[in-house]
Amino acid sequence: MSEGKIKLAIIPAASCGGCDVSLANLNEKLLKLTNFVDIVFWPTVADFKIEDLENLESIDIVLFIGSIRLKEHEEKLKLAREKAKILVAYGACACFGGIFSLGNLFDPEELLEHVYLSNELITTDNTEEEIPGQKFEIDGLDLSITPLTDLARPLNDFVKVDVYAPGCPPREIVLDMLIEVISDYIQTRQTPEIPLVLAKDTPLCNSCSRIKPKKISIDKFRRIGHEPIQQDLCFLAQGIICLGPITRDGCRLPCIKANMPCRGCFGPTLDIIDPGAKFASAFAPLFKLDEEKTLSDEELIKVVEEIDDPIGYAYRFTLGISLLKRIIREIKEGRKE
Amino acid sequence: MEDGESNWEPLIVAFLCRWCASAGADLAGVSRLEYPPNITSITVPCSGRVDPQLILLTFVNGADGVLIGGCHTPADCHYIAGNFKALKRFALIRKMLEQYGINPERVRLEWISATEAQKFVEVARDFTEKIRKLGPLRRREK
């Protein structure tokens, strides 16, 4: 600990570790940063316990990584908010629920049963049939594993977030902006008044250089890997799902340049209430646009229904901020009850 | 909702296009045809204007069913192709609802012309009964 340095904590919750790697990828910049910043908590790289966090009087900046999937994550988040001057939702999971929120397609009990009790996963070795959330004691010590929350949720379902750093994981350009936020804080010691989003408000399509036809008519839905993808033509015009129209710009298009469609890890643009529904609104009408007057209603519905896994595509990183999470599921495992 | 399930009545919001379905509903009223009071109708310029976001918002804010009424395909739409947009969006949002675990029967699309008051009444009755069978849609606070 040295005088004058600000305190930074990096707290992971439900995350894959990719966000931590993206921070480590800062290389020399990370070293330079440590001239001004003391990293007081980062369990991914060194042995920290939750008590280390509790013992700190205050923290200047917290980078919170991952979504909230366990009761323990929720407690950590509340602790972080209590201590932090600036709480940064770092990565798509913290901002929008991320990949983990696709688990909201199942109830917690279904997830636990599948992972811990069914024999479908070869890695499961659980003869005593113990699952998280059950009471578990050894020699009078409570070793119960923390239970799952009802849904995988983004941070702003629980606390106020000051800075959103989107991406899966956040790209270098986002990190550069984050470092700017940190250096602003070092100079002014002010928390941003309104939440900052380290991305543009405009959609990705604005900076995509692929040819966009004036009128797009899709003959059928295509999946990646089944047919060759044209290098210079808009993905939507090829019948491939690309979330460019609903996703924030600011990533410098690494996926598009690698001939892969946008998955939406920067989250929805400002005016969108529900990202997947908005995408459905934009994408569905393109099917058979040229032939719609000659086809029957049933034929048109059939063409659109060929899209498999529409939620997986349209809400890849954003099911945690969808309106759907406010509706309680009534059909389980495809069976109507 | 859960406490008073025995007195529960389905709440259905109908988005009806100004030119056909809404005019059909008006005619049903003028002709003194009876249909269940569970349907609350909202007139929109065109069925193509009913964004799937609007359907989800309607569910989140208390509806148990959503009816969309538009002009007959292929040639009746006042705006030429708005009804096709509605049809294709309807197909996709239904599939999404089913994948998420919400009964897709809670959304219904019908083409009702300005003269089809009888059809509107039949759809209203039938849809109300279907939603009554499905029961209330349950929600979370956040």
- B87-103, pLDDT tens digit by residue? 999 999 999 999 999 99
- pLDDT tens digits, B44-89: 999 999 999 999 999 999 999 999 999 999 999 999 999 999 999 9
CATH number at residue B48: 3.40.50.960
> Total domain count for chain A?
3
| Structural domain contains residue B140 | no
What is the model's pLDDT at position A68? 98
CA dist A20 and A10 (Å) reads 8
CA dist B120 and B118 (Å) reads 5
- pLDDT tens digits, A289-326: 999 999 999 999 999 999 999 999 999 999 999 999 99
- Looking at the structure, do residues A191 and A281 belong to the same domain, yes or no? no
For residue A279, is pLDDT > 60? yes
- pLDDT tens digits, A170-193: 999 999 999 999 999 999 999 999
- pLDDT tens digits, A148-175: 999 999 999 999 999 999 999 999 999 9
> Residue A331 — φ and ψ, nearest 5°?
-115, 130
| Structural domain contains residue B26 | yes
- Looking at the structure, do residues A69 and A120 belong to the same domain, yes or no? no
What is the model's pLDDT at position A336? 43
| Structural domain contains residue B141 | no
- Looking at the structure, do residues A167 and A265 belong to the same domain, yes or no? no
Q: Is B133 on the interface with A (CB under 8 A)?
A: no
| Structural domain contains residue A225 | yes
Q: Which residues of chain A lie closer than 8 angstroms to B52, CB-CB?
A: 274, 277-278, 280-281
Domain final residue pick, A181, A197, A213: A197
- pLDDT tens digits, A13-23: 999 999 999 99
Average pLDDT over residues B109-122: 98
The answer to whether the CB of A23 falls within 8 A of the CB of A34 is: no
For residue B8, is pLDDT > 50? yes
Length of chain A measured in residues: 337
Average pLDDT over residues A136-157: 91
Q: What is the distance in angstroms between the Cα of B142 and the nearest Cα belonging to chain A?
A: 6
Peptide bond into B74 cis (omega under 30): yes
For residue A132, is pLDDT > 50? yes
As a whole-number percent, the residues of chain A with pLDDT over 70 amount to 98
Residue A246: name the closest of A316, A171, A334, A155 by CA.
A316
Chain-chain contact of B98 with A287 (C-beta, under 8 angstroms): no
| Structural domain contains residue A318 | yes
Q: What is the distance in angstroms between the Cα of A252 and the nearest Cα belonging to chain B?
A: 28
- Looking at the structure, do residues A27 and A91 belong to the same domain, yes or no? yes
For chain B, give me the number of helices (H) and strands (E)?
4, 4
For residue A118, is pLDDT > 50? yes
What is the model's pLDDT at position A3? 64
Q: How confident is the model at residue A136 (pLDDT cuts 50, 70, 90)?
A: confident
Average pLDDT over residues B92-115: 97
Query: 3-state DSSP call for residue A79?
Result: helix
Q: How many residue contacts between A and B have a Cβ separation below 8 Å?
A: 123
The answer to whether the CB of B68 falls within 8 A of the CB of A298 is: no
Q: Where are the alpha helices (DSSP H) in chain B?
A: 21-30, 52-60, 82-100, 117-134
Domain final residue pick, A139, A169, A197: A197
Q: Which residue of A has its CA nearest to B99?
A: A311
| Structural domain contains residue B72 | yes
Q: How confident is the model at residue A119 (pLDDT cuts 50, 70, 90)?
A: confident
Antiparallel, parallel or unpaired: β A148-153 and A68-70: antiparallel
Domain that holds residue A140: 106-149
Q: Which residue of A has its CA nearest to B142?
A: A326
């210079």: which residue's tokens?
A232
For residue B5, is pLDDT > 80? no
Option in A277, A301, A323 nearest B91 (CB): A301
C-alpha to C-alpha distances, A239 to A251, A300, B11, nearest whole angstrom: 23, 15, 37
Rg (CA), chain B: 15
What is the model's pLDDT at position A269? 97
Q: How confident is the model at residue A285 (pLDDT cuts 50, 70, 90)?
A: very high
Structure pTM? 0.94
- Looking at the structure, do residues A278 and A240 belong to the same domain, yes or no? yes
| Structural domain contains residue B71 | yes
CA dist B63 and A46 (Å) reads 51
What is the model's pLDDT at position A8? 97
- Looking at the structure, do residues A263 and A192 belong to the same domain, yes or no? no
| Structural domain contains residue A1 | no
- Looking at the structure, do residues A184 and A226 belong to the same domain, yes or no? no
| Structural domain contains residue A86 | yes
What is the model's pLDDT at position B2? 53
> Residue A316 — φ and ψ, nearest 5°?
-45, -45
Option in A276, A292, A328 nearest B96 (CB): A276
- Looking at the structure, do residues A77 and A143 belong to the same domain, yes or no? no
Mean pLDDT, chain A, rounded, equals 93
Chain-chain contact of A285 with B85 (C-beta, under 8 angstroms): yes
Chain-chain contact of B91 with A276 (C-beta, under 8 angstroms): no
Strand order in the sheet with A84-90: A37-41, A6-12, A59-65, A84-90, A163-165, A196-197
For residue A95, is pLDDT > 70? yes
- Looking at the structure, do residues A157 and A300 belong to the same domain, yes or no? no
- Looking at the structure, do residues A58 and A168 belong to the same domain, yes or no? yes
Q: How confident is the model at residue A337 (pLDDT cuts 50, 70, 90)?
A: very low
What is the model's pLDDT at position A335? 44
C-alpha to C-alpha distances, A86 to A13, A52, A55, A181, A190, nearest whole angstrom: 18, 19, 18, 10, 9
Q: Which residues of chain A lie closer than 8 angstroms to B74, CB-CB?
A: 292-294
Average pLDDT over residues A76-96: 97
Chain-chain contact of B81 with A292 (C-beta, under 8 angstroms): yes
Long-range contacts at B40-43 (CB < 8 A, ≥ 24 apart): B40/B11, B40/B12, B40/B13, B40/B14, B41/B13, B41/B14, B41/B15, B41/B16, B42/B13, B42/B14, B42/B15, B42/B16, B43/B16, B43/B17, B43/B18
Domain that holds residue B103: 10-133
For residue A1, is pLDDT > 80? no
CATH number at residue A183: 3.40.50.700
Peptide bond into B37 cis (omega under 30): no
> Total domain count for chain B?
1
Q: Which residue of B has its CA nearest to A321?
A: B142
The b-or-e profile of A166-198 (16+ CB within 10 A means b, else e) is bbbbbbeebbebbbebbeebeeeeeeeeeebbb
- Looking at the structure, do residues A172 and A209 belong to the same domain, yes or no? no
What is the model's pLDDT at position A144? 83
- Looking at the structure, do residues A27 and A121 belong to the same domain, yes or no? no
